[in-house]
Amino acid sequence: MSPVLASGNARLSEPSGAPSEATLAIPIDCNPELPEPVIGYLRDSLADSSLRAYRSDLAQFTAWGGTIPASDRTLATYLAHHAESHSVATLTRWLASLAKAHRAAGLPSPTSSELVRATLRGIKRRKGTAQDQAAPLLRDDLVQVLNGLGDGLKDVRDRALLLLGFAGAFRRSELVGLDTDDLEPVRQGLIVHLRRSKTDPLGAGRKVGIPHGRTRHCPVAAVELWLSRSGITQGPLFRGLNRHGQLLAGRLSGEAVSVIVKERVQAAGYDPAPYSGHSLRAGFATSAAQVGVSSVKIRAQTGHASDAMLGRYIRDAELFLGNAALALL
């Protein structure tokens, strides 16, 4: 299908042409006349993942036929054209990227106009704003998964990854970003030093306590066994294995965590479709809420800034606690 807005379309109110390669490459004003150290720091102001997302979003817009600068009419049409094929979350992210591109060029952003905002509100009202969420890997389900693991090197690695990811309520990027130097053994278990995370782009860091487990599925023991069996003494904690089961030098990717979770839950007899790398973090928060752990203590582990951010896990966990239907049926 041809783009709704092409360079010859009369509905396109701005001049034809695409953003410069510099704008597509980095959505901040990297004036080539700036000193090289300044340009370097400007690039470091954005995470690589954010940079890739901005570049992808701008490329999507220009491939459709849009240009920078864009009019509010263009953006409203852009949203309407993709409303049925893309989620509200994706459309919202696209607008954020386009706003960034305009600000980087020193231009007023049309994304804040009433026409664009009203169009997005209409899409939200028609489609709803609920997002697909990864199914939480709850504590009892995790135990079932762990019970099915063997004692090969891959099994040992995956057991350590699953247990540490669950006990620390880590995001997959946090989990694969760990190095051996980030682990501090203490009498009570392990202190994991998170140097940087999604909500800590400036690297202030935080500490996460991983206590010794009370069952045979102890996260501390699992990590220690992985380090012992793999021979890893420095560098990335979780690494890939080749098809011969030999350890590789590079760290696992975030995608690899999702693959491991899906493979292991499927092997335990679960449908892997709703599970992802986020299932470990979601499973911890939901399981902790189910057994009555306070939101303050849960947030201390997950790093959520407020109860509002944690709320969806707690709401799911409390669906059957004191349920009114229990008194009636």
Residue 132: inside a domain, yes or no? Answer: no
Q: What is the pLDDT of residue 196?
A: 72
Residues 117 and 250 in one domain: no
Residues 118 and 199 in one domain: no
Residues 110 and 204 in one domain: no
Please, are residues 260 and 161 in contact by the beta-carbon 8 Å criterion?
A: yes
The span from the CA of 281 to the CA of 135, in Å, is 10
Residue-wise pLDDT tens digits, 178-192: 999 999 999 999 999
Please, are residues 161 and 176 in contact by the beta-carbon 8 Å criterion?
A: no
Residues 103 and 146 in one domain: no
Q: What is the pLDDT of residue 27?
A: 47
Last residue of a domain, one of 127, 161, 183: 127
Residues 117 and 175 in one domain: no
Q: What is the pLDDT of residue 171?
A: 92
User: Which amino acid makes up residue 116?
Assistant: V
Ranges of the chain with pLDDT below 70? 1-34, 47, 129-132, 197-204
Q: What is the pLDDT of residue 30?
A: 45
Tokens 């009433």, residue located: 114
Structure tokens at 119: 């169009």
The span from the CA of 164 to the CA of 168, in Å, is 6
Please, are residues 18 and 67 in contact by the beta-carbon 8 Å criterion?
A: yes
Q: Which residues of 264-296 are buried (b: 16+ CB within 10 A; e: fewer)?
A: bbeebebebeebbbbbbbbbbbbbbbbeebebe
Q: What is the pLDDT of residue 122?
A: 94
Residue 329: inside a domain, yes or no? Answer: no
Q: What is the pLDDT of residue 205?
A: 77
Last residue of a domain, one of 99, 127, 155: 127
Last residue of a domain, one of 127, 152, 182: 127
Residue 1: inside a domain, yes or no? Answer: no
Domain count, the chain: 2
Residues 68 and 174 in one domain: no
Residue 192: inside a domain, yes or no? Answer: yes
Q: What is the pLDDT of residue 132?
A: 60
The span from the CA of 23 to the CA of 49, in Å, is 16
Structure tokens at 274: 């709703």
Q: What is the pLDDT of residue 33?
A: 64
| Containing structural domain, residue 54 | 21-127
Active site residues: 171, 198, 278, 281, 304, 313
Please, are residues 111 and 50 in contact by the beta-carbon 8 Å criterion?
A: no
Residue 6: inside a domain, yes or no? Answer: no
Q: What is the pLDDT of residue 203?
A: 62
Residue 258: inside a domain, yes or no? Answer: yes
Residue 224: inside a domain, yes or no? Answer: yes
Residues 123 and 143 in one domain: no
Give 252's contacts (C-beta < 8 A, 6+ positions apart). Answer: 161, 176, 236, 238, 239, 240
Residues 157 and 180 in one domain: yes
Helices and strands, number each (H, E), in the chain: 14, 5
Residues 100 and 144 in one domain: no
Residues 149 and 123 in one domain: no
Residues 94 and 192 in one domain: no
Residues 249 and 146 in one domain: yes
Q: What is the pLDDT of residue 32?
A: 55
Task: Check the CA dihedral 233-236-240-242 and report its sign.
Answer: negative
User: Which amino acid makes up residue 171?
Assistant: R
Other Cβ atoms less than 10 A from the Cβ of 175: the count is 23
Residue 112: inside a domain, yes or no? Answer: yes
Check which CATH number belongs to the domain holding 110 and give it: 1.10.150.130
Q: What is the pLDDT of residue 319?
A: 73
| pTM over 0.75, yes/no | no
Check which CATH number belongs to the domain holding 252 and give it: 1.10.443.10
